[in-house]
Amino acid sequence: MNTTTRHEVLVMGAGYAGLGTVIQLAARTRKRGNLRVTLVNPYDTFTERLRLHMTATGQETAKPNIPELLDGTGAEFVRGWVTAVDTEAKTVRIDDDRLLRYDTLVYGLGSIADTASVPGVDDHAYTLNSPQDAALLADRLTRLDGGTVVIGGSGLTGIEAAAEIAERHPELQVVLLGRGEPGASMHPKAKAHLDAALARLGVRVRSGVEVVKVLPDCVELADGSSIPAAAVLWTSGTRVSPLAAAAGLTVDERGRVVTDSALRSVSHPDVYAVGDAAAIRQGYGVMHGTCQGGMPTGVHAALSILRVLAGKEPKPFRFGYYHTPVSLGRNDAVVQFTRPDDSPRRIVLTGKRAAKYKETVTAAPWPTFARMKKMPAAGALWPHGGRYTRIRSAK
C-alpha cells in the first residue's frame, strides 16, 4: 500500500457478515491514517434476522445502533441503499445519487426470501425479509379473529415461524407446507422432537406439496387443490441482490459472488464477498447461508484485506458447521449438533435447555462485535469447523 495516499475500503451491507468485516478492520487499523473504512446500509439499526419471526408475532426486540457501535473506531457510516456498482470506475451509487469511491469493496448484501419463482407470492404473501416486512405480518395477525395462516416453505425459517405464530396466536390454524418434511436432514431424535413440538402447538404439517400460485385468499397446489388462507408467509428458498451480476462480477447460478479461497471475487480481486451473498467453496461443497458461517467470513475478509495491503499472501478461509439450533416457540427448541459438512451427529439438545442455548446463540453477535472493537481477536470466539481458530494479527 502506498503510505502517502489513503486506501478506501467500502463495505456494503451491515449484516452479520459485513459488520464483522468493518469492526475487525477498524479495530486493527484505527491508528493508521492511511486506511479509511466506510459502511453503507439502508438503516442505522442492526437487523437481528434471527429474531424476525419474533417481530412477526409482535414481540419487541432490541434495535442495536450501528453508528454507536462504530463510534471511536474511525469507520464512517453512510445511510443508503446501493443501486449500482461500477467496477471500472470503482464507485458505488446509492439511492440519493451519491457516488462512494472505493479501492477495496466488500460485498455483504445478504439474501432475501425467493418471492419471484411462484406467481402471486410477490403480490399476496408476507415475508421475513426485514423488520418492516415482519411488522406488517404482525399487524395482519393481530387483526384476524380466526382462519388459517399458511406458511410456504418448511425449512428452518418456516419451522421457527410456524411454531412462533401457533404459540402466540392459538386462535389461528397454522399450516406448514413444503416439498420435504420439516427437519428431514436432522438425526431421527431431533426430528422426532421437532415433529412432536409442532403437533403440540397444533401446526398442521403438509409435506410433499408444491405451491403453484398464491392468491389473495388461498394458495393453489400442483395437485389442483387449494388451501384457504387469511395470510400467507413465504419462507421458501432465498435469492440475492442482482447488483453483483449487473456489475459484471462472476456469479453462480443463484447470483452469488463466486470467491477464491481468500474470499476475493474470482473476476475482480479488489472485491471481497461475504455472508449469504457469496458462493464460497469448501471441501464439502459451497457454503449455504447462515449466520454461523456468515460472521467468520466477514472477519476473514478483513484479515485477507490487511494481509494483501501489507504485501502478504492472504490465507485460505476454512469453515465447518457445528450446530443447527431451531426455536420451537419461546420455551422449546431443538439443537442439532453437526459435523463440519453440516451432516447431523447423534448429539441433540431439546426442550428448555435447547431454548436457552438458542437464545444465547441469537444474542451473541452484537456483544461480540462490541468486544471485537476493543479486542479484534474476540472474532476468533466464533468457531470454525468445530474447533476454535486462532486469528492472528494481520499486521
Ligand X SMILES: Cc1cc2nc3c(=O)[nH]c(=O)nc-3n(C[C@H](O)[C@H](O)[C@H](O)COP(=O)(O)OP(=O)(O)OC[C@H]3O[C@@H](n4cnc5c(N)ncnc54)[C@H](O)[C@@H]3O)c2cc1C
The footprint of ligand X (CB under 6 A) covers: 12-18, 40-42, 47, 49-50, 52-53, 81-82, 108-110, 128, 157, 160, 241, 275-277, 289-292, 294, 325
Return all residues near 139 (Cβ < 8 A) that are at least 6 apart: none
Dihedral of the alpha carbons of 256, 326, 50, 285, in degrees to the nearest 10: -20
Nearest residue to ligand X by CB is 15
Q: Smallest gap, in angstroms, from Cβ of residue 310 to ligand X?
A: 26
Question: Toward ligand X, which CB reaches closer, 47 or 282?
Answer: 47
- Name the residue nearer to ligand X (CB basis): 93 or 213: 93
Ramachandran category for residue 110: left, alpha or beta (phi over 0 → left; psi -120 to 50 → alpha): left
Question: Nearest distance from residue 18's CB to ligand X, in Å?
Answer: 5
Instruction: Indicate the residue among 218 and 326 with the shorter CB distance to ligand X.
Output: 326
User: 364: which DSSP letter?
Assistant: S
Q: How far is the CB of 31 from ligand X (least distance, A)?
A: 27
Nearer to ligand X, 159 or 262 (CB): 159
Q: DSSP string spanning 128-188? A: -SSHHHHHHHHHHHHT-SS-EEEEE--SHHHHHHHHHHHHH-TTSEEEEEESSPTTTTS-H
CA–CA distance, 346 with 323 (Å, rounded to integer): 12
CB of 147 to ligand X, least distance (A): 22
88 φ, ψ (degrees, to nearest 5): -75, -50
Give the residue from 364, 369, 187 showing the smallest Cα distance to 292. Answer: 364
Q: What is the dihedral of CA 147, 142, 180, 226, to 10 degrees?
A: 30
Nearest approach, Cβ of 11 to ligand X (angstroms)? Answer: 10
∠ Cα 170 352 150 (to 5°): 30
Of residues 220 and 276, the one with the C-beta less far from ligand X: 276
CA separation for the pair 123, 214 (Å, rounded): 8
Instruction: Kindly state the smallest distance separating residue 175's Cβ from ligand X, in Å.
Output: 18
Residue 393, judged by CB atoms within 10 A of its CB (0-12, 13-18, 19+), counts as exposed
In the bound state with ligand X, the residue whose beta carbon lies nearer, of 32 and 79, is 79
Nearer to ligand X, 221 or 357 (CB): 357
Instruction: Give least dist CB 221 to ligand X, A.
Output: 24
Name the grid cell of 235.
419462507
